[in-house]
Amino acid sequence: MKTAVVILNWNTEDFLRKFLPGLVRSCAKVEGAEVVVADNASTDGSLKLMAEEFPQVRTLKFEKNLGFTGGYNRAFAELHYGPDAPEYFLLINSDIEVPEDWLGPLVEWMDAHPQCGACAPKLHGWQHKDMFEYAGAAGGYIDRFGYPFCRGRIMGRVEKDKGQYDSPTDVFWATGACLMVRSSVYRRLGGLDERFFAHMEEIDLCWRMQLEGWKVTVVPSSTVYHVGGGTLPPTSPFKLFLNYRNNLLMLDNNLAKTYALGLFHGGMDAYKAARKGMRKATRRIRMRMVLDGLSAAVYLVTFRFSCFKAVFKAHKEYRRMVTYSSLEQISEHISSHGVNAEVRGIYRKWIVLRSMILGQKVHDSIRAEDFYKF
């Protein structure tokens, strides 16, 4: 097996019935590709469906819900250490519809670009197939405070695909709804950070890839169609909690190393760069927490008490779970990877404010010179 196409399933029987046949057919056309369903202890009829209607599809059965992060890490471990370990590991949601020719361009891109650690197709909406979809669109960036946005989707505003993003492009992050990763890189980085459980884990993974010199690319010759909200609806307080908490964990994982990398590239020695990078990261994370507090205040005065509680709980959990990197760890990382690594795609401005001021025109306001170079 060259490419393992893995659906992590949790109680999405209807999506499997609807979209799995097309996925199996399309993957059969690509040499060395195999579809695998990893089941996160579903309590609906998913396993019965797999046994009765898709007996030819390998099914991994987990004893409990390990979340998006733990589920994919467990699936990777079972596949990678088996007799037919894949070269590429593709994470794909159960609520995605694929055309016949979606997989080949991704495999071909990875084969031709050995420095690419991960790649993804363009993500369109399933209901409106000419529109980009919220969860990843045409590849993403983050702003100076860690707020993610995408080419084709900024905050809640999505664009129609008019071919404006039809050149292969290195991005800061690509959607975890359909993400191909190089198995050797996934293993080296320890996979997804299991503290996240779900949400923003792919952004964190892509950031860690860049910090070790790997590229993340959107391959626009491949497009898939995403329903969205298949596991957690957009209004879920639990989803809000995960997003706020995980954003802070992601910043803690990567921001100090990123600042240190930029200082190292500017001529500072690794130890001094690490020390200054840590200070800058601490200030930026504190500012992000202040902005989160403002969001919580808005939820409170608009009587969205469950959302207010979600932000409060997210900060409490972040403080409990955070694991600070030491000065020595950051210095060693920069010494080891600083020459080859670069991080591009962090926007200099606050995208939330820009979106509020410019509305739909915010898409046209993004310029290459508006991004930091680390």
Q: Are residues 139 and 39 in the same domain?
A: yes
Q: How many domains does the chain have?
A: 2
In a domain, 360, yes or no: no
Q: Are residues 160 and 260 in the same domain?
A: no
pLDDT at 156: 87
Q: Are residues 264 and 162 in the same domain?
A: no
In a domain, 130, yes or no: yes
Average predicted confidence (pLDDT) for the chain: 95
Q: Are residues 215 and 245 in the same domain?
A: no
| Range in 117-131, 138-152, 219-233 with the lowest mean pLDDT | 219-233
pLDDT at 232: 66
Residue with tokens 């995960």: 242
Q: Are residues 118 and 79 in the same domain?
A: yes
In a domain, 263, yes or no: yes
Read off the tokens for 204: 């964190």
Say whether pLDDT at 149 is over 90. Answer: yes
Q: What is the pLDDT of residues 202-240, one digit of tens each?
A: 999 999 999 999 999 999 999 999 998 756 666 789 999
Q: Are residues 45 and 91 in the same domain?
A: yes
Q: Are residues 258 and 201 in the same domain?
A: no
pLDDT at 321: 95
Looking at this protein, which amino acid is placed at residue 174? Answer: A
In a domain, 357, yes or no: no
Q: Are residues 126 and 153 in the same domain?
A: yes
Q: Which of 166, 197, 226 is the last residue of a domain?
A: 226
Helix/strand/coil for 270: helix
State the Cα–Cα distance between residues 190 and 73, nearest whole angstrom.
Answer: 8
In a domain, 351, yes or no: no
Q: Are residues 180 and 293 in the same domain?
A: no
State the Cα–Cα distance between residues 273 and 258, nearest whole angstrom.
Answer: 10
Strands (DSSP E) along 57-189, which ranges?
58-61, 88-92, 96-97, 116-125, 140-143, 148-150, 153-154, 157-158, 169-170, 178-182
pLDDT at 99: 97
Q: Are residues 93 and 206 in the same domain?
A: yes
pLDDT at 80: 85
295: containing domain: 237-342
Q: Are residues 145 and 39 in the same domain?
A: yes
Say whether pLDDT at 60 is over 70. Answer: yes
Q: Provide the CATH number for the domain around residue 117.
A: 3.90.550.10
In a domain, 78, yes or no: yes
pLDDT at 1: 87
Q: Are residues 256 and 169 in the same domain?
A: no
Q: What is the pLDDT of residues 329-345, one digit of tens each?
A: 999 999 999 899 999 99
In a domain, 373, yes or no: no
In a domain, 371, yes or no: no
